[in-house]
Amino acid sequence: MSNLIEKIKCLIIGSGPAGYTAAIYAARANMNPVLYQGMQPGGQLTTTNEVENFPGYVDGVTGPEMMIQLQEQAKRFGADIRDGWATKVDFSGDIHKVWINDTIELHCETVIISTGASAKYLGLPSEQHYLQMGGGVSACAVCDGFFYRNQEVVIVGAGDSACEEAHYLSKLCKKVTMLVRSEKFRASKIMEDRVRKTENIEILMNHDTVEVIGDEQVVSAIRAKNKTTGEIFDIPATGFFVAIGHKPNTDIFKDYLTLDETGYIINTPGTSNTNIAGVFVAGDAADHVYRQAITAAGTGCMAALDAERYLAGKE
């Protein structure tokens, strides 16, 4: 560890809509925010080709372009945007200590956590290829379902989120095939009943995804395997949605912050406050319900305002 200690009024850990919005508000409030972008600068939206549901972008915008614009807006007001990621924290005292890349020690009056959550994927090479190409693989039906209107899609998952997304897609798509990897749903009975009663949702229990098929640019089918019979067959589809959960990027905070059973940071309802005074949370690190760019940006605003009020109360 370096012996050099930097004192910071407002540290923002992580970028994306939550982090950059927090930086904009904190900078405008003369809090001199320092933002470390993390291992994926811009967050999950940098893997999204088209964003058409964020207010103000009449013709849509690519995820990377939107993140660059948010970053530049934060810089315009004086936010200090840096490369690097937090590797260790100590929130046991009045001064919040954070280490960056295991070498830089920061002593912070306030900390805003916007480290987000990472979607879980099956890990198939073909899945990752089309995910990177933006050619038909997604982990967010609400974000991308619109692009598959009147088309046939496949979704894999067995929980409440998978059922909810399958039902959402059924309102847009001609047909939704739901692959459930086990012999029963993990979803609540009400959610399971909802998808079973939807006419254009076909449910294939005890089926695995073998491969995502396409022309190297866009998806055309999903190769599936019946685990009972061993039969392998292709399901025509232009979209493949993965709904097997998200993992919040919160491991380094678990010794100090209150997390739920899946690792999301628990905040005081109606605020961005965590259980540690002066430490706030924004975006998908705490949100396992909505997970949208616009809601993340809103909580980034909340976190900056809460941090400003916290500092004002100490003066």
Structure-block tokens of residue 167: 């039902």
**pLDDT tens digits, 110-146:** 999 999 998 899 999 999 999 988 889 999 898 889 9
User: Distance (Å, rounded) from C-alpha 54 to C-alpha 67?
Assistant: 12
> Average pLDDT in the 247-263 region?
96
Q: Within the chain, where are the H helices?
A: 16-28, 63-76, 125-133, 141-144, 160-170, 189-196, 293-314
Catalytic residue (one of 144, 284, 287, 306): 144
Nearest Cα neighbor of 164 from 181, 178, 182 is: 178
The pLDDT value given to residue 200: 98
Average per-residue pLDDT for the chain? 93
Is 143 annotated in the active site? yes
Q: Among 83, 102, 108, 140, which one carries the catalytic annotation?
A: 140
Q: Is 144 a catalytic residue?
A: yes
Average pLDDT over residues 252-281: 97
Q: What is the pLDDT of residues 61-88, one digit of tens each?
A: 888 899 999 999 999 999 999 999 999 9
pLDDT (tens digit, 9 = 90+) per residue, 82-97? 999 999 999 999 899 9
Whole-prediction pTM value?
A: 0.80
Is 140 considered catalytic here? yes
